[in-house]
Amino acid sequence: MNLVFLGPPGAGKGTQAKRLAQELGLVHISTGDILREAVKNQTPLGKKAKEYMDRGELVPDELIIALIEEVMPPGGGVIFDGFPRTIAQAQALDRMLEKKGMKVDRVVLFDVPDDVVVERLSGRRVCPNCGAVYHIKFNPPKNDEICDRCGTKLVQRDDDREEVVRNRLEVYRKQTEPLIEYYERKGILIRLDASKDIEDVYQELKKVVST
Ligand code: AP5
């Protein structure tokens, strides 16, 4: 099964993808996580991507498509989180899967209003060492601002600053929302009310991907 998680920044795609991938034995591919790691390690991809990410713009399609080609497991079984984000990326993914005799089976649209997005992103804290994600109010670490898993001090993502968040939302509306119609036409889009709490969203998600 190949799943795509679609939705605005901060909708909870990454939080749910990690857990579902573990439970269903799927591979979690988050283009955002891969790009942040590349920026941290100052790889050629990271150096090219950084300026776009800092502004909340999309990294060019050709870089993202080449990246997916590199990390795609031969047998599929993937949750794509934050990819595709443009029609060109969606078409490239269709072609890549088709060559292997596979397809996107379901696309889950994480539906949340803008005010919820802003609250989630402003309270998000991440571990710069192991990548764990927390929220100061909705999913706090056991000890204030310290990662439960590895004990590192948590930080705020650079692109979670208010002005960048506003631009990310605008970019989502213009460049990514057209994918809703693209997948609706294929009859594989499922809308999920992602404004509920983390556990409720997870239970609903499990139901919709197994029907
Ligand atoms: P990326 O990292 O993909 O950012 P995003 O799509 O904006 O998604 P986020 O990671 O911000 O949010 P999320 O939906 O995963 O929410 P999370 O689970 O963390 O991309 C970053 C940048 O990389 C882009 O701007 C772009 O530049 C570039 N990029 C990446 N992919 C690209 C592509 N395909 N093409 C071009 N460029 C690309 O949750 C958010 C917070 O809310 C957390 O604190 C969490 O604890 C909390 N939370 C989660 N669920 C709930 C809940 N149900 N109730 C309460 N709180 C919750």
| Mean predicted confidence (pLDDT) in 62-81 | 95
pLDDT of residue 19: 97
What would the mean pLDDT of 190-206 be, rounded to a whole number?
97
Tens of pLDDT, residues 134-190: 999 999 999 989 999 999 999 999 899 888 999 999 999 999 999 999 999 999 999
Query: Which regions of the chain does DSSP assign to beta strands (E)?
Result: 3-6, 27-30, 78-81, 106-111, 124-126, 133-135, 189-193
What was the pLDDT predicted at 211? 79
CATH T-level assignment (fold) for domain 2-112+167-210: Rossmann fold (3.40.50)
78-122: per-residue pLDDT in tens?
A: 999 999 999 999 999 999 999 999 999 999 999 999 999 999 999
pLDDT digits (tens, 9 = 90+) for 180-195: 999 999 999 999 999 9
The pLDDT value given to residue 162: 85
Atom of ligand 1 nearest to the CA of 81: 3
Question: Which of 124, 136, 166, 197 should be mutated for ligand 1, with most atoms under 8 A from CB?
Answer: 124
Ligand 1 atom nearest the C-alpha of 157 is: 11
Position of tokens 């799927």?
A: 26
Q: Is the separation of the CB atoms in 76 and 102 below 8 Å?
A: yes
Q: Where are the domains of the chain?
A: 2-112+167-210
210 band by pLDDT with thresholds 50, 70 and 90: confident
Pocket probe for ligand 1: among 4, 13, 96, 174, the residue whose CB has the most ligand atoms within 8 Å is: 13
As a whole number, mean pLDDT of residues 12-34 equals 97
Q: Please report the DSSP string for 155-169 in residue order.
A: B--GGGSHHHHHHHH
pLDDT (0 to 100) of residue 36: 93
Q: Is the pTM of this model over 0.85?
A: yes
Residue 163 is predicted with a pLDDT of 86
Tell me what the mean pLDDT of segment 2-28 comes to.
97
